[in-house]
Structure 1
Amino acid sequence: MEVINLTHLDEQISRKPHIMAIGFFDGVHLGHQELLNQAKELARKQNVLFSVMTFSPHPNEVLKGDKNHKYLMTLPEKIKKMEAMGVDKLFVMKFDRTFASLLPADFIQKYIVNSKTKHVFVGFDFTFGFKARGNTQLLQKESRKIGFGLTVIPKKTYLQEKISSTLIRSLVQEGNVDLVPYYLGANYEAAAQIIEYKINGHLAVRPSEKSIFPKPGTYLVKVKQGTKILHGKFHQYSNSRTDNVLKLNESVHEFDDACSIEFLSRIQVSESLSV
C-alpha cells in the first residue's frame, strides 16, 4: 500500500483512475468495513486502484481546540488496518483551518473530478467543506451533473443501535470492553509503553497519549509485541495516564518497551489484581 500525505496545496492527488472511499474512519468499525469492502469490490471489478482518503488530525482538534482528543485508532494503527483491508493508495489529508474553509464545490472539483476518481464511497452521514455544508445530497446532485459514480452506505446497526465511533468510544471509556467486538468487529486494542519493571512480574504501563483507555478497574488482556502474544491482567487504579499496572501470566525474560494491549473483558472487584 502506498501512503500519500497531502495538504491543501496539492493540486492533483492521482494521475490514474481510482475508486475512492472518503471518511475519517476512526477505529475502522463494522460500518466502515462494509463501506471499504464495497469500494474494494467495485475497484477490483473495474480493474482500477482502490484508494481511501482520510484526515489527520481529527477536525475537533483544529476547529474546537480539543488538543486532548483521544482516538480509537491512532494514525499509524489506522494505516496498518487499511493495508490489511487491501487498500492500494491511502491519502492522508492534513486537516487544518485552510482545508476546513474549502467550499464543498471546490472539494468535489479538486479531490474528485480533477483527480480521476471514477466512483466515490461515503457513509450516510458524511459531511465536508466549509462549516460541513457539503453532504451526501450535494454529492448525489453533483455526481449526476458531472458524471462520477457515487455510493452512499446506509446506517449499520446492532441491536437497533447505530454503529459509530462515538458509541464504541463510550463503551471503552465505561469499561464495557466485552461489548466492543459487536460494533468494532474485534476487541479494542491500544498502544502503550512499558515504563518500569516491578517485582513479582508486574510492569508499570503508560498508555499512548492519543489512545482511549477504559475507566479504572481490572481487565483481562492480551499483550502484543510483533508476533509475540502474552496474556495477563491490566489494572488501572485511577484516571491517571501513568497509574497502571500490567501483570503477565507468563514469565518473560526479554520485553521491549513498546507494546499493544488488547482488552478482552472487565474483571469483577473480587477477582481484581493485587499488587
Structure 2
Amino acid sequence: MDAMTGFASLQATEDLEIELLLEALFQRFGVDFRGYDRHLLRRKLLALLRQRALSTVSALQEKVLHESGAALSVVRTLAVPSAPLFDRPDWVRRQRIALADSLRPTALPKVWLAEPAGVGEAWTMVILLAEEKLYARTEVFATLASDELLAELRDAAVPVAQLAEFQPQYEQSGGTGRLADYFEVANGEARLLPRLRERITWAQYSLVTDASFNEFHAIVCCRALADFGPVLRQRVLRLFHDSLALFGVMGIDRELGATDAFAEDYQRVFEDGAWYKRVR
C-alpha cells in the first residue's frame, strides 16, 4: 500500500468513526449534529482528540458512551463557541438599527435568538432592546439544542473585570452609557439585571429536528448556520421563513444566495451585511 492509498484508507476510517460518533450522540443523548458540515466537524473533533491525547475517534466514542462528562465535552466542542459581550461591534450596530426599526411599530414583539454564542450574545441583544426602549414589551426566546448547555447559560455570569474590557465594543456598537449599569455584581461576578434577564425565555429546541413553534418579528442566527451542511442549512432557512412574520427581520451568518430557500421573499435591510426583511 503506497502512502496516498494509506492516507485515503485512514481518512475513510475516520469518516466512518465520525458518523458512528454522531449517531451515538443522537441516539444516546438526543443531540443531533448529523447534518453539520463534515469538514468543520472533522477539524473540531481532531482538535479534541489532540487535547485529550486520544488516537482515534472510536476511542472518543468509547468515552462518550461510558465516561461521565465526556458527551458534554463533545457537545461543547461542536456547538457554537461562546462570544463576549458586544462582540463584532459592526454587526451589533446593524442589529440595533434593524431591531429598533422592525419592532417599534409592534405592540408585543417576539424575537427568536437561535443557538446563541453564550450569554454574551443574548445579553447584548437585551441591552440593545433596553436602550431602544423596547425591552419592557419584547420577549426574547433564546434556544439551544443541548439541555446541559442551556442549564449553564440560565445561571451564567461573567467576571466583573470584563465589563470595563467590553466598554469600548459597547460604545462602537452605538452604546452611549456605562455597560456596567446594566449589571448586578456579587463575589466578583456580574449578571445582567433581573429586570432585563426576565425578558429572556431560555428553551431547549433543535433546529435540526423541531418544527416552527411561534411567530416572531425578528429572528437572529448569526453563528450556527455557518456549521451546517447544505441540506440542513436549507431546512433551517425554510424553518425561519415559516416562523417569521411578514415585515419581520432576519439576521443570519452570510448573505442569501439565489438558490437559498425563499430568498425571493426578502429584501436587504442594509446595502451590505446579512440582515433581511420579509416582504412576502
TM value normalised by structure 2: 0.27
TM-score by length of 1: 0.28
